[in-house]
Every structure is written in structure tokens, then in C-alpha cells.
Structure 1
Amino acid sequence: MLKRMRLRAQELIHDEAGDVPGWVLITIMTAALVMVIWAFAGPALVDLVDNALKGVQFS
């Protein structure tokens, strides 16, 4: 039984090894999506943070 479990674990490890290009593609696409969103929402987010900091009173 232990031998079967060990063989199954090795099969799973070898199955996952070939999926690197998929993860690279997901990472690149996520980075591109963040850049596009930041290009449109960046100025609004900066204004939002600036206004919030101006409204805080420091003692």
C-alpha cells in the first residue's frame, strides 16, 4: 500500500511539472490587466488618497 501511494505521489509530481508555461501566461496576463486598470483608475485613486489625507487632522 505504501509503495502504491509513493508511485501515485510521483505521478502527480511529474504531471504538474509541465504546466509552467500556463502559469507564466497567467502571470503576464495578470500584470497586463493590472497595468490597464491602473492606467484608467490611477489618477482617480491618487485624488482619492490625496483628499482622504487632506481631511485627516494631525495633532
Structure 2
Amino acid sequence: MKNLGIRCTVMFLALTASLRTANDHPERGDVPGWVMITLMSAVLVAALLALAGPALEAMFNQAMDKVGS
């Protein structure tokens, strides 16, 4: 779990550094910002799923067992 946080931090820093250099053209718009927000959201969802996945799976299986009984 510790490595996941480090990897996410490194990826975030690399992404922000690349977006700063890619935004040199005045007509470029705000596309790099939206790409960064989308990628950060995806990383956040993946991290939460990695942390809470077993608990969510156990809750789902427990609910299905109650419905099936």
C-alpha cells in the first residue's frame, strides 16, 4: 500500500510538470487541465478501490447470502 501512494505522487508530479510545459501556446485552451483532472480522478478511484475492494466484496457477498436465504 505504501508503494501505491508513492507511485501516485510521482505520477501526479510528472503529469503536472508535463502540463506546465505543454501550455505554452496561447490558443491551446484548458484541455491539459481537464486531462489532469480526469487522470487524477481515475487514480483516486483506483486507490480507493484497492483499499476498500475486499470490504466492499465482503459486504456484497453478505447481502447476496441474506437475499438467497
Root mean square deviation, CA, Å: 1.5
TM-score norm. by structure 1 comes to 0.66
Would you identify which runs of 4 or more consecutive aligned residues in structure 1 move more than 3 Å? Answer: none
Q: Which has the higher helix share?
A: 1
Q: State the structure with more CA Rg.
A: 1
Structure 2 residue ranges without an equivalent (≥5)? 1-27
Structure with greater contact order relative to length (CA < 8 Å, sep ≥ 6): 2
Q: Identity over the aligned pairs, expressed in percent?
A: 50
Match runs of 1:3-42 below 5 Å = 18-42=29-53
TM-score norm. by structure 2 comes to 0.57
Q: Give the C-alpha shift of residue 46 in structure 1.
A: 0.3
* Count, aligned residues: 42
Q: Distance in 2 between matches of 1:42 and 1:30?
A: 17
